[in-house]
């Protein structure tokens, strides 16, 4: 039986991304079995929709978007999305301190446990955008495709995620700056 | 655009460390940093945080077996199979598969039981033919053969007063089928041998006749109200059917 060229191309494009897809699915769901389920469903959906994918465009962003939508419609995803994220509250988490000393920063950032806790407390949507940026090293434009939001929103969301982390670390470590 | 008199925003700092600023905007920002200590510290802090976050959020390594399953799903031949995704779909699929499996197993078992019985009957028929040993009761007289089984079988049967032309009774023996005692009657139909097995059956089944063949031998089945009768022979099926009819007829109450 002759294998369609599109199937071969899909395999070539998707195979190298499996570890990244799995990792991201795990970070979203925090569960290995669910991560595998999400990636499986993502592959199935992507295969069905592959004819609509334009060769030459960003396959990673395209399939990560399918993965994200798959997660959001999963049980864990639905539960996580119940917390409303208000994009408008731009200055809610504004860090008031604009002049911390370098020692303060080093103290905070060298404390990996404190950072891990801060990351855990981060709103899922802020954590998600950081993951795509720091772990998957996607460009803002690619993240915008994945999250289906404007590039400007990606920028502000990443920025807010970092400020939230700073604020959390400051409170955890009792910084008085 | 970063102005000399204005500190950079957090958004700009993030975009700068992520390499998302345009070349000209990045150049402006770098120039600003040469003269602004607070903005430089903000960038340094942001870069440290970025590195620390990347360390904390290392990519999770998928279990090898999970990766193998996922990679298998990518293969074109596997792609046509619906992927296991949600638990619900999986559960229903598994349930359907179980039903099919159980149904297949029952069907297989029935077929196998039927085949087993046929094979067992044929084996016994061939054993009688090849052993050359005489049956326990050697007689062409039905009045001798029938009484011999009394006390040896938990049921009774009748032998036809008249057998079809060319058919003779050679004798009988006690045997077992599926652990149940059965009467084995030996006939000659012309120059062919026929083994007829009679076994007790429950009364709730309806009488019927059916036939089949195995390894070139004809096997005919008949059910009466009390008995299951099976004949095995290499004779012409119509001649065997005449004997079966006579046997079935003999069981009918007079």
Do residues A20 and A62 share a domain?
yes
The reported pLDDT for the residue numbered A73 is 82
Do residues A60 and A135 share a domain?
no
Helix, strand, coil fractions of chain B, as percent rounded to 5: 50, 20, 30
Nearest residue to B196 via CA among B153, B243, B160: B243
Band of residue B83 on the pLDDT scale cut at 50, 70, 90 = very low
Do residues A73 and A117 share a domain?
no
The reported pLDDT for the residue numbered A96 is 45
CA distance B16 to chain A (A): 10
CA distance A83 to chain B (A): 22
Band of residue B10 on the pLDDT scale cut at 50, 70, 90 = confident
Of the residues B16, B63, B85, B90, the best mutation for testing chain A's interface (the one with the most A CB atoms within 10 Å of its CB) is: B85
Do residues A74 and A120 share a domain?
no
From CA B118, how far away is CA B231, in angstroms rounded? Answer: 10
> Which of B11, B48, B77 shows the shortest C-beta gap to A109?
B48
List the single residue in B with minimal CA-CA distance to A10: B74
Q: Which of these ranges, A55-64, A102-111, B160-169, has the smallest mean pLDDT? A: A102-111
Do residues A69 and A21 share a domain?
yes
From CA A107, how far away is CA A175, in angstroms rounded? Answer: 10
Do residues A55 and A117 share a domain?
no
Q: Which of these ranges, B19-23, B158-162, B181-185, B206-210, has the smallest mean pLDDT? A: B206-210
> CB–CB of A147/A68 below 8 Å?
yes
The reported pLDDT for the residue numbered A154 is 95
Band of residue A175 on the pLDDT scale cut at 50, 70, 90 = low
Rounded CA Rg of chain B: 43
Q: Which residues pair with B169 in a beta bridge?
A: B187
> CB–CB of B44/A102 below 8 Å?
yes
Do residues A60 and A123 share a domain?
no
Inside any domain, residue A143 = yes
pLDDT beyond 80 at B213: no
Residue A47: which CATH number?
Answer: 1.10.1740.10
Inside any domain, residue A91 = no
B52 contacts on A by Cβ (under 8 Å): 109, 112, 115
pLDDT beyond 80 at B166: yes
Question: Is B111 or A116 the better-scoring residue by pLDDT?
Answer: A116
HSE, side-chain direction, 13 A CA sphere, residue B11: 13
The reported pLDDT for the residue numbered B97 is 55
A95 contacts on B by Cβ (under 8 Å): 10
Nearest residue to B197 via CA among B123, B132, B106: B123
Inside any domain, residue A62 = yes
pLDDT beyond 60 at B92: no
Q: Is B82 on the interface with A (CB under 8 A)?
A: yes
Structure tokens at B53: 């976050």
Question: Residues of B numbered 17-76 whose beta carbons fall under 8 angstroms of chain A's beta carbons: which are they?
Answer: 18, 20, 38, 41-42, 44-46, 48-50, 52-63, 66-67, 69-71, 73-76
B57 contacts on A by Cβ (under 8 Å): 27, 119, 130-131, 134-135
Band of residue B204 on the pLDDT scale cut at 50, 70, 90 = low
B85 contacts on A by Cβ (under 8 Å): 37, 40-41, 44
Do residues A11 and A72 share a domain?
yes
Do A119 and B18 lie within an 8 Å CB cutoff?
no
Q: What residues have CB less than 8 Å from B113, skipping those under 6 apart?
A: none
The reported pLDDT for the residue numbered B116 is 65
Do residues A122 and A157 share a domain?
yes
Element (H, E) at B221: strand B217-223
pLDDT one-digit tens code per residue, A93-105 = 444 444 555 555 5
A105 contacts on B by Cβ (under 8 Å): 41, 44-45, 48
Strand ranges for chain B from DSSP E = 137-138, 167-177, 180-189, 192-200, 209-214, 217-223, 227-233
In 3-state terms, what secondary structure has residue B180?
strand
Element (H, E) at A76: helix A75-80
Do B60 and A26 lie within an 8 Å CB cutoff?
yes
Q: State percent of chain A over pLDDT 70.
A: 75
Inside any domain, residue A90 = no
pLDDT one-digit tens code per residue, B94-113 = 545 554 444 454 444 444 45
Band of residue A110 on the pLDDT scale cut at 50, 70, 90 = low
pLDDT beyond 70 at B13: yes
A149 burial via Cβ count (<10 Å: 0-12, 13-18, 19+): middle
How many CB atoms sit inside 10 A of residue A106's CB? 13
The reported pLDDT for the residue numbered B79 is 46
Band of residue A176 on the pLDDT scale cut at 50, 70, 90 = very low
Do residues A76 and A110 share a domain?
no
Do residues A166 and A105 share a domain?
yes
pLDDT one-digit tens code per residue, B46-60 = 888 888 888 888 888
Alpha-helical regions (H) of B132-205: 142-149
Inside any domain, residue A85 = no
Inside any domain, residue A56 = yes
Do residues A47 and A5 share a domain?
yes
What is the complex's ipTM, to 2 decimals? 0.76
Residue A120: which CATH number?
Answer: 1.10.10.10
The structure's pTM equals: 0.52
Inside any domain, residue A95 = no
> The domain containing residue A114 runs over which residues?
101-176
CA distance B91 to chain A (A): 13
Inside any domain, residue A66 = yes
Do A19 and B7 lie within an 8 Å CB cutoff?
no
Q: State percent of chain A over pLDDT 90.
A: 42
Dihedral sign from CA coordinates of B60, B63, B68, B70: negative
Looking at A26, A50, A80, the residue that finishes a domain is A80
Task: State how many domains chain A has.
Answer: 2
The reported pLDDT for the residue numbered A42 is 95
How confident is the model over A68-89, as a mean pLDDT? 65
From CA B210, how far away is CA A116, in angstroms rounded? Answer: 78
């Amino acid at each position: 039986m002759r294998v369609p060229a599109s199937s071969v191309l899909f395999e070539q494009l998707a195979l190298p991304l499996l570890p990244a897809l799995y990792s991201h699915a795990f970070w979203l769901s925090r569960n290995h079995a669910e991560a595998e389920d999400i990636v499986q469903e993502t592959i199935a959906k992507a295969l069905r929709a592959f004819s609509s994918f334009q060769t030459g465009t960003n396959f990673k962003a395209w399939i990560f978007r399918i993965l994200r939508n798959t997660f959001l419609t999963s049980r864990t995803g639905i539960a996580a999305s119940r917390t409303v994220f208000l994009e408008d509250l731009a200055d809610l988490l504004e860090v008031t301190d604009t002049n911390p000393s370098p020692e303060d920063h080093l103290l905070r950032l060298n404390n990996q446990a404190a950072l891990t806790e801060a990351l855990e407390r981060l709103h899922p949507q802020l954590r998600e955008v950081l993951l795509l940026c720091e772990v998957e090293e996607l460009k803002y434009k690619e993240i915008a495709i994945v999250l289906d939001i404007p590039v400007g929103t990606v920028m502000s969301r990443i920025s807010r995620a970092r400020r939230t982390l700073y604020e959390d670390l400051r409170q955890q470590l009792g910084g008085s700056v | 655009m970063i102005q000399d008199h204005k500190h950079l925003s957090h958004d700009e700092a993030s975009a700068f460390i992520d390499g998302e600023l345009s070349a000209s905007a990045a150049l402006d920002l770098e120039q600003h940093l040469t003269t602004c200590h607070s903005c430089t510290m903000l960038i340094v802090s942001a870069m440290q945080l970025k590195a620390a976050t990347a360390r904390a959020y290392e990519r999770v390594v998928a279990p090898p077996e999970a990766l193998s399953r996922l990679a298998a799903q990518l293969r074109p031949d596997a792609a046509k199979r619906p992927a296991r995704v949600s638990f619900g779909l999986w559960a229903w699929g598994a349930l359907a598969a179980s039903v099919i499996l159980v149904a297949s197993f029952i069907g297989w078992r029935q077929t196998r039981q039927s085949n087993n019985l046929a094979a067992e009957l044929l084996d016994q028929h061939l054993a009688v033919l090849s052993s050359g040993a005489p049956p326990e009761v050697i007689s062409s007289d039905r009045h001798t053969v029938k009484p011999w089984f009394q006390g040896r079988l938990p049921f009774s049967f009748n032998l036809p007063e008249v057998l079809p032309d060319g058919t003779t009774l050679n004798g009988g023996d006690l045997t077992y089928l599926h652990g149940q005692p059965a009467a084995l009657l030996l006939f000659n139909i012309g120059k062919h041998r026929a083994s007829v097995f009679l076994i007790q059956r429950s009364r709730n089944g309806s009488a019927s006749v059916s036939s089949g063949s195995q390894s070139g031998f004809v096997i005919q089945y008949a059910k009466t109200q009390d008995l299951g009768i099976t004949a095995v022979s290499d004779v012409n099926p119509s001649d065997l059917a005449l004997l079966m009819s006579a046997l079935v007829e003999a069981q009918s109450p007079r």
